[in-house]
Amino acid sequence: MNRFVPSNLVVLRRDVLRAASALLEEQVRASQAFSAIAKTLHRVHGELANSLAELAGRADADLTVRQLARRCQTLRTTLALVEQHYQADVVRQRDALRALLAAFNESSKVLAQTLVEKDLLDRHRMVLERVVLSYERVINWLPFIEEVLKEFHAIFPFDLFFVAFAEKHGLTAHLFYPGRPTAAQRSDLEPQLVRELLARLNQPFDAAVDLAVHYLDWTPWFGIATAQCYQLLTEKVPDHRSGLAGILGVGFGTAQPLSAQEQTVIRSLLAILVIVVGSSRALSDTLRELEYFSMHDPLTHLYNRRHFLHMLEYEIGRSERHQHAFSLIMIDLDDFKEINDTYGHPAGDLALTELANVLQAQVRQGDLACRIGGDEFILLLPETPLEGAKALARKLCDRLRAHRYFYQGTSFHVTCSLGIVSYPQDGKSVHELLAHADLAAYEAKRRGKDEICAYDDLKTRRTGGALTRDSLAEQRSEVEALREALAERRIVPFFQPIVDMASGQVVAFEVLARLIPSVGDPIPAGRFITVIEKYGLGRELDRQIIAAALAALRDFPGEKPTLFLNLSVQEIQNRNVLGFAARLCHQWGLDPGRIVFELLERHAVDDLEKMRQFIRQLRKRGFRFALDDFGSGYNSLHYLRELELDFVKIDGAFVRGMQTSRIDEALVRNLSNLCADLGMQTVAEFVENDEMFAMLQKMGITHAQGYYLGLPLPRLPVVESPPRTGSP
């Protein structure tokens, strides 16, 4: 009998079957009694019929005898009909009773199933009421499973419950016994169970197995001693993450197979445990990963900035209490952007990962290696004075310099700039130590990269252009002020006249950027252009100045003058400004030939091929091109040969020295002749007096500018310059 059918239903079914059996038994007895009576009647009737037949056959038989003989014959026929009808009635009653029993049996089965399902539903509800996930239960999911198993055991008294997961290192399995089997029983059962689990999880038979046994001690263990008598029912745990395969199930010792309903009941309970185990395992793994990556960098698996700051704060307190020194080594990769641009970001990730491995291999146990930024790493060296940190830095620098990175058939090297600070001499707070370490690393990079700089050395070298913390803070303050000025459109164009030497007329203007402060006079670009370019603000400055200058040219009455516009190195590298300026010229109906873009000579040396392409783009759009500060570099003549120039602006230092230096005078005269022969116009800068103007005029210089000829003005002026002849 099914163990899940209610006992009162079993008793009812048994009583009905007994009553039906009694009815069938009474019917059989009645049928047998009727058959005996019918047999006796047939015998007596036969004897009587024979006697009457003899009497009726005599000659002296009267009419009465003959009539009795005929009636006796009729009685025989009647008896046969009665017997026939009785037997047919018995068969009908028996079939009806059997049909009734069959219908009752089917109804009882349906009722039993209904009652079992209702009872099961109630038990499921009670079990599910216990399945309330919380942080504590997720982290400690094994004790939680034990609670749920107790409810399970009350419904189905299993002999063994197991949970197994196939993981990278092999098989992890947990066995739960309601009682305590003997060592012999375990040694007989568990090896076969492990083999079964490995097979069901598609693991090799010799995979490593991590087996944990839990004794629940609810009841004495009555498992069958031989493992061959065990039956297993299992359910798969759904994959919640890549590489996770799991299974759970129950085992019980019995020689009888489970009924279909028993299997349904057990599997339904296992389904609940699948939810518990799967969810707990997945959430537990997720929380573990979140906890791990809250302290570790996901790419290199070094500690991250958050954990580093926490440990640095702790180390400051510890070292202060025990009067220890410790050091930090800031590691900044040199030209890391070029690795990403040249080989792609996967190559950059490879470099970061391998660098992290090198750091881990070089530091001592107890040292802390962290990645605190995109290409910035830092080492925390407890109880390490400055000299010890310098020794490790030199070792690291040599190791990183020699390390070769391989990616998709190519190889490359990456060097690093290292900055060192030591507590307490270089700072006593987190902010001071990090600021000074960053400053030391920046100075190491400024000195030529692949260098080591200690902040202690930096403090003793205040000359030679070395940055200090105060100068760096001042520069940061300046760049923020410049960002604000750009956002408020307070960097505006001023226009300095450029005079045609032949006519003495103003024919062009150089556009110069000026910062309008809240108080005081406008600030020239020379005071802030270095910071603008260093912090990547050149592109925004160019766009604002170009837009304002072209708007002034659009609104200029009469014939439009030519504008000379300076470009930052960022725009030369990206060339976004060309499309911007071309759109404005088209939108406002301006002739691009009236726009001359200036490039400093020192920027041309970086990549001549890129510069040639840049000039071609200028010319295709109708713009013209000028080389500024010509003569200030070492390859000036090389630029004249390689680049298609419209104007050459002669460095003002030569122009200013003409009156006192025969060398400067000769240089300017020869540069003028050379440019004239090459078909290029010249512009002399820093013209300060009429005598200088006359000298330039005689040399054949085509254009001039300087404070003597006109000051920079906040708007394009309509001027009529008097002709200059060069006479005093």
Q: Between helices 430-446 and 469-487, what is the axis angle to 10°?
A: 90
Q: Which pLDDT tens digit goes with each residue over 379-399?
A: 999 999 999 999 999 999 889
Ramachandran angles phi, psi of 214, nearest 5°? -125, 125
Cα→Cα distances 266→177, 353, 657, Å: 17, 50, 103
Cα–Cα distance for residue pair 108/91, rounded to 1 Å: 26
| Phi and psi based region of residue 579 (left: phi greater than 0; alpha: psi -120 to 50; beta: remaining) | alpha
Asked whether the CA dihedral 534, 540, 546, 548 is positive or negative, the reply is negative
| pLDDT score of 385 | 93
Largest CA distance in the chain: 200
Cα→Cα distances 391→236, 327, 363, 553, Å: 57, 12, 12, 62
| pLDDT score of 727 | 33
Strand ranges of the sheet holding 416-423, from the earlier edge strand across to the other edge = 368-371, 376-381, 326-333, 416-423, 452-454
Cα–Cα distance for residue pair 598/605, rounded to 1 Å: 15
Cα–Cα distance for residue pair 190/236, rounded to 1 Å: 20
Strands 703-704 and 491-500: antiparallel
CA dihedral 186→187→188→194, nearest 10 degrees, is 90
Alpha-helical segments (H) within 488-599: 529-534, 538-554, 569-574, 576-588
Cβ neighbours of residue 255 under 8 Å, at least 6 residues apart? 224, 229
Cα→Cα distances 507→326, 510, 624, 712, Å: 66, 11, 15, 15
Strand ranges of the sheet holding 230-237, from the earlier edge strand across to the other edge = 209-215, 170-177, 160-167, 245-253, 230-237
pTM: 0.49
Tokens of 14: 């048994």
| pLDDT score of 120 | 58
| pLDDT score of 463 | 42
Q: Name residue 408's amino acid.
A: Q
Tally: H helices and E strands in the chain? 23, 21
* Residues of the chain scoring pLDDT < 70: 1-13, 56, 59-61, 63, 66, 109-139, 221-230, 239-244, 253-259, 261-262, 459-476, 568-576, 601-607, 632-636, 719-728
Cα–Cα distance for residue pair 719/505, rounded to 1 Å: 9
- Smallest CA-to-CA distance from 591 within 554, 616, 552 is with 554
| pLDDT score of 682 | 95
Asked whether the CA dihedral 517, 520, 525, 527 is positive or negative, the reply is negative
Paired with 170 in beta bridges are: 167
